Amino acid sequence: MTRNVAIVGGGHSEWGERAATWKDLAQEGGKAAFDAVPEVGPEDIEGLFVGAVQPERFANQTHVAPLVAELLGIEVTEMTARTELACASGQAALRYAWLAIAAGQLDVALVLGVEKMNLGREYMPEMQASMANVLDREFDGANGLAAPPFFAWYAQRHMHEYGTTREQLSMVAAKNKTNASKTDFAQFQSTCSIEEVTDSPEISAPLYLYDCSGITDGAAGAILMSEEKAREVTDTPAYITGSGQSSMAGNSINNLPSLSTWPQARKASQNAYEQAGIEDPVEDIDVAEVHDCFSISEIIEYEELGFADRGEGGQFIEDGRSHIDGDVAVNPRGGLLGCGHPLGATGVSQALEITHQFQGKVSSDRQVDDPTTGLIHNLSGSASVHSVMVLDRDPQ
């Protein structure tokens, strides 16, 4: 049995450096989801899926899905799970909920992404060490590899192979941070110019501070329903029409196939496009939320997701083709660079952005003109795994 599945709505906690605990964030995200869809309450939830990367490290807490159920007053009658896939944990939770509803196991599910990352400035070394856990801890992590130098390698190599410029990296960061200034829950609320990016402190050449996503506390909750149930709640659901995931290389850095391309993203997107009936991504996709953990990431993703030819990602942003009024509006909520990156919540937030774009519920100055098809993308670990999901205003 296969059924159409839709996201009907959801909401966010405030994102940023919060005094709130992991439990506080979970409650805020859950309440925001129910407030956004008043026709659905805790008593209606049959399945609960919680995206959380490292609550064991950041909050000294495991077994978090039953904990969330208790905090939100949900008596889960059918299915509950916590998903962990590093930065793609939220999308993994969405995927599992989608599959469970499509298979007829559930009719209504809550997907909640939560991450508490800020422990106080005095704990910065511990926070950074925890982040290194998403790599192969015994080999890559133990040798001091962290995210900024890793993505700096990609920037250096992409520049060397394709002529990508420092200014093009700045264009990505400036676009996304400016978009985030119009997003109410975002961690960073100021507009940003190209010059301000390179005026920020250098972190790992050629990347500056503003090329890097933040360390963020936050939660996002989305309610998914079967098509029949969704039509009882809203006239504008966002249907999940395709999903792809690929890990074509090993998890360790030395087994990655390239330091300038992500064939895993290309394969994952091709699988999702085939399911969703997408033939030309530039023509068929109106809005995309992609994993811009670093500015170079978005440029490579233009290429691997089929928005630009390989090596032409820098020109894609320079020509304005990824702006809100461009060929494909990329990261209109501000992406990870502007909104921040509470690991387990990011994929859920991306899906909510597409849903709210379809529903016309975002700020008018970042609303895409009449979008009908959207995409979310996450990379995880050493960029060895890529996850892609396609959403549409209409079911297939």
**pLDDT tens across 2-33, in order?**
899 999 999 999 999 999 999 999 999 999 99
Q: For the residues 125-138, what does the mean pLDDT come to?
A: 81
Amino acid identity, position 383: A
By residue range, what is the domain housing residue 227?
Answer: 5-120+215-233
Q: What is the mean pLDDT of residues 176-183?
A: 98
Number of domains in the chain: 1
Whole-number average pLDDT of the chain: 96
Look at 37-51, 109-123, 139-153 and tell me which has the smallest mean pLDDT.
Answer: 139-153
Residue with tokens 């507009």: 191
**Is residue 262 within 8 Å of 383, Cβ to Cβ?**
yes
Of the residues 291, 341, 356, 386, which is catalytic? 341
Q: Is 293 a catalytic residue?
A: no
Would 113 be classed as within a structural domain?
A: yes
> pLDDT at residue 1 above 60?
no
How many other β-carbons are positioned within 10 Å of the β-carbon of residue 161? 14
Instruction: Provide the whole-model pTM.
Output: 0.98
The three-class DSSP label of residue 14 is coil
Contact (Cβ atoms closer than 8 angstroms) between residue 65 and residue 82: yes
Q: Which residue has the higher pLDDT, 120 or 361?
A: 361
Whether residue 193 is predicted with pLDDT greater than 60 in this model: the reply is yes
Q: Residue 301: inside a domain, yes or no? A: no
pLDDT higher than threshold 60 for residue 377: yes
Predicted local confidence at residue 141, as pLDDT? 73
What backbone phi and psi angles, to 5 degrees, belong to 87? -70, -10
57-69: average pLDDT: 96
- Residue 70 maps to a domain: yes
Lowest-confidence pick of 135-139, 188-192, 228-232: 135-139
Would you say residue 159 lies in a domain? Answer: no
* Residue 90 within a domain: yes
d(CA 299, CA 278): 21
CATH code, domain carrying 48: 3.40.47.10
| pLDDT at residue 269 in the model | 98
Q: Residue 57, exposed/middle/buried by CB under 10 A (0-12, 13-18, 19+)? A: middle
What pLDDT sits at residue 56?
A: 96
The percent of residues above 90 in pLDDT, for the chain, comes to 89
Decide if pLDDT at 349 tops 60. yes
pLDDT (tens digit per residue) in 263-298: 999 999 999 999 999 999 999 999 999 999 999 999
User: Is residue 192 annotated as part of the catalytic site, yes or no?
Assistant: no
Tell me whether residue 144 is exposed, middle or buried, using C-beta atoms within 10 angstroms of its C-beta: 0 to 12, 13 to 18, 19 or more. exposed
Q: What is the mean pLDDT of residues 103-131?
A: 90
Q: What is the pLDDT of residues 222-266, one digit of tens each?
A: 999 999 999 999 999 999 999 999 997 778 888 888 999 999 999
Is 94 inside any structural domain? yes
Residue 93 belongs to a domain: yes
- Single out the catalytic residue among 87, 192, 212, 293: 87
The verdict on residue 19 lying in a domain is yes
